[in-house]
Amino acid sequence: MWRTLALASAFFPGLFILCIRLLRWAAPGWSLKDRILLSGRLVSTVQATMATVSGITVVLSCKNVVHDRHWLAVEYIWVLVPYMTYDIYVMYLCHWHKSQEKGILEKKHSLASVWSFLLQERLMVTHHLFILIVLTPITQHFRGELGDFFVGCIFTAELSTPFVSLGKILMQLNMQDTLLHKVNGILVLVTFFLCRILLFPFMYAAYARQVGIPLYLVPFRIPLHCNIANASLIAPQLYWFRLICRKAARLYGSSPAHRSR
């Protein structure tokens, strides 16, 4: 636990700083804001890939979805904890630099700039804090030695993140009218729907199949905190999926000239 926490606490900020420095060499004309934005998205992609691979490994290893164990279901949580903490700060840095570009002159790390960040990114910050404060104790303590399969399923929700990050990177590079951006948009829709929406019915169906009960009885057979955690996780996903669908409708339903406005 402590070794994993220490390594992850050094790895993600270190990778972020390394990306910024490499971009300063590779793209000297870029502003610090642009380097920070791209570096944050690259690190996010790395973490998402790690989480997805860990999740798939756990899911494929657990034949009994209730009782089978896999060490990654426990250990990777201690990777997520420092990552989520790091990511909140990087989101704040991105917010502050964007505000400076818009002419909002707030001192970095001032109460006003932090409050502005929390208001604008309240849903994402709440999502991260929920994982840190609520899901971490549930996955590491309250569930006991049960449900590694379902923890692995939650890890696989990160499959859509690399495509989301690539879409933002392409827009940052003014490549939003390319075929790559359109194909990536389809992949965002598909992976987000499969791994962040359908994931939850899949987990309930897997439990129903394992214990031999109808699907509709599962919410009444599993612990209440599992239902609450799942509901709390899927709620923002439904909201974000709605935003993605609206963006996709604009992307595929309008002309390039209209999208560039």
* Per-residue pLDDT tens digits for 190-224: 999 999 999 999 999 999 999 999 999 999 998 88
Residue 200 is assigned to a structural domain of this protein: yes
Cβ–Cβ < 8 Å for 158, 48:
yes
Domain of residue 183: give its range: 1-252
Question: What confidence tier does 229 reach under pLDDT thresholds 50, 70, 90?
Answer: confident
Q: Residue 33's CB: how many other CB atoms inside 10 A?
A: 16
Query: Token pair 């990552």 is at which residue?
Result: 83
pLDDT at 260: 45
Is pLDDT of 62 > 90? yes
Question: What confidence tier does 27 reach under pLDDT thresholds 50, 70, 90?
Answer: confident
Residue 259 is assigned to a structural domain of this protein: no
pLDDT at 261: 44
pTM for this structure? 0.87
Residue 44 is assigned to a structural domain of this protein: yes
Residue 186 is assigned to a structural domain of this protein: yes
Residue 261 is assigned to a structural domain of this protein: no
Residue 178 CB partners (closer than 8 Å, separation 6+) = 170
Give the side-chain half-sphere CA count within 13 A for 252.
12
Residue 76 is assigned to a structural domain of this protein: yes
| Count of structural domains, the chain | 1
Residue 257 is assigned to a structural domain of this protein: no
Residue 77 is assigned to a structural domain of this protein: yes
